[in-house]
Amino acid sequence: MKKLLLTGFEPFLGLPINPTEKIVKELQNKNIGQYQIQSVLLPVDFEKGPELLISCLNDIKPDAVISLGLAAGRKKITPERIAINCRDGEPDNNGVVMVDSPIYEDEPAGYFSTLPIREIVQILNENGYPANISNSAGTYLCNNIMYTLLNELNKNNLHIPAGFIHIPASHELVIEGKKNMPSWSQRDLQQAIELIIENI
């Protein structure tokens, strides 16, 4: 059976939970569509996050990779179109702050996702989960992981479906974190991700 590496993140920036953590734990070792899921929880850390991702790519040798991240404030499931060679923004969970810093010197400005993002959006919408393509994964850990992923596959000449998908906050996160932002139930979030995996 094919292997799909599914990554999520630990909580960050003071939020009490991260709905992607719950999804990757729930789907660990499950068989969905043509894939067995290999889940990995990544630290929100500019050094250790990408390192762990690269070691998982080497160990697992997946046939497809989907990295998940929380996009607090977004209303829909949003497959990312592109990762850019830049780190910037808030401190990571280790307190490290990057400002306009390349992820890797002398590498390209950007890499496009190799997931079928247009089809993913279409399938989600057809099945009742609002979705659209996002043109920016930001410049924080999410973008860093997506860039590292695509750069690594490119360097190794591996042509597999791989990319990043941002999800909205969960109801639970909004309530526990006392936030005012759009949210979905954790069940809706997880079912949408399962639907994506079934269709790639």
Active site residue 171: no
Choosing from 3, 30, 48, 75, the residue that interacts with its own copies (CB under 8 A) is 75
Contact 193, 39 (CB under 8 A): no
Of these residues, 166, 171, 176, 198, which one is catalytic? 166
Q: Does 157 bind its own copies (CB under 8 A)?
A: no
Which one of 12, 46, 129, 164 is in contact with its own copies (CB under 8 A)? 129
Is residue 100 a contact point for its own copies (CB under 8 A)?
A: yes
Does 16 help bind its own copies (rule: CB under 8 A)? Answer: no
Euclidean distance between CA atoms 43 and 95, whole angstroms: 12
The DSSP annotation for 121-180 comes to HHHHHHTT--B--BS---SSHHHHHHHHHHHHHHHTT----EEEEEEPEEHHHHHHTT--
86 in contact with its own copies (CB under 8 A): yes
CB 141 within 8 A of CB 44: yes
159 is catalytic: no
Whole-angstrom distance, CA of residue 196 vs CA of residue 118:
11
Q: Assess 1 for contact with its own copies (CB under 8 A).
A: no
With H, G, I as helix, E, B as strand and everything else as coil, classify residue 79. strand
Please provide residue 59's backbone torsions phi and psi, each rounded to the nearest 5 degrees. Answer: -75, -45
Stretch that binds its own copies, among 14-22, 35-43, 49-57, 107-115 (CB under 8 A): 107-115
Q: Which of 108, 155, 156, 198 touches its own copies by CB under 8 A? A: 108
Q: Is 56 a catalytic residue?
A: no
Chain residues that interact with its own copies, rule: CB under 8 A: 75-76, 81-82, 84, 86, 88, 99-100, 108-112, 118, 125, 128-130, 132-133, 135-136, 138-139, 171-172, 174-175, 180-185, 188
Give the catalytic positions in this structure: 80, 142, 166
